[in-house]
Amino acid sequence: MKRVAPILVPFLLAVLGLAMVEGVLRLAGFSREAAPVVLRFGYPNPREMVDLFRPDPRLFWRFRPGSVFDADGEVAINAAGYRGPLPLAGRVAAGLRVVVLGDSVVFGGATAWPQELAVLLRQAWPARQVEVLNFGVPGYTVIQGERQYTDDVRDLKPDVVILAYGWNDHWLAAGGLPDHERSFPSPGRARLTLLLTRLRLVQALNGLLPAGAGPSPAPEAPAPRRVPEGLFRLRLENLARRAREDGAHVMVLGLPSALSHTDFPPYLVDMGFARDAESALADHADYRAAADAAAQAAGATYVDLQPVMNEARARGTDSLFSSDGIHPNPAGQKVLATALLPALQTLITGEEPP
């Protein structure tokens, strides 16, 4: 015991001293981002990655199975870690299994257009066993979608795969590190790292380190997107081609927007998603065109949803988007599902619906 005391006392004093410094920094209101670049995204931020999701070495983050996610209302996450029903175990040969891969536009809010589409498909084909499985995850890009298809979707042998990417792909890459260059740590290591970086002492020490821990782009250099446009087109084409080779009909969507130069949420610039309204609007148009090109190259069907929403607005529909101008509201979800139904029927049967 006497031998332990000389070691234990200084150790406890050191811990007490560090705790006091931590307390002083918190009382002073000190806070600074300290998470490693590889763990930084516009959404989710490092804290959300642990609190709302769980870190994943391949997908970066995924939902916690059995959790509840707040998306303009409580949304239950199933045992596989996705929204909506699980795949049917007793699948029949004449059944129809549709898988939708994408980001928060697919995941939805209080409602989601994939579930609206399921209702319409069952009405159109009442004698068929119809499944529409929602694999949308907020914040996902096509890089995550490729891996998600390999890990979670391919073995389900879907009859139809719908791909809906673009928004997160053209947002700016946090720390200048695009998705395809990220090497993500194990879940345990990611959690420990993020836990430590919540300590104000760690944040303060991190701020004292030299800024040159790695090369930084010149101030005038354009910030990279999470998925550069050329790579976005290539990866989306590859994903569509893989799904077709696996026997699925494939539909690629051009995601709609209500944003304009005069109606652009400032937080998108303030939080680092975009440099300015002009570049973000141009990027979104370019990535929709890239999605079209990817679909054509892969032999998939392309459906541009921007004209669909424009026409619905022209008919007098008051509001189709949430306040951010990105995510369709419940009325917009119904418009999208209704517009996709005939295109999907044609894709499956090869005939125009009556």
Q: What is the CATH number of the domain that holds 237?
A: 3.40.50.1110
Q: Is residue 274 part of a domain?
A: yes
Q: Is residue 35 part of a domain?
A: no
CB 44 within 8 A of CB 213: no
Look at the chain and report how many structural domains it folds into.
1
Q: How many helices, marked H, and strands, marked E, lie in the chain?
A: 13, 9
The pLDDT, as a whole number, for residue 26 is 65
Q: Is residue 232 part of a domain?
A: yes
DSSP string, 265-303: -THHHHTTS-S-HHHHHHHHHHHHHHHHHHHHHHT-EEE
Please state the φ and ψ torsions of residue 133, each to the nearest 5 degrees.
-100, 125
In the chain, which stretches have pLDDT less than 70? Answer: 1-26, 28-40, 184-222, 352-354
What distance in Å separates the CA atoms of residue 131 and residue 297, rounded to the nearest whole number? 28
Q: Is residue 138 part of a domain?
A: yes
Q: Is residue 87 part of a domain?
A: no
Q: Is residue 26 part of a domain?
A: no
Find the domain containing 309 and state its range. Answer: 94-172+225-349
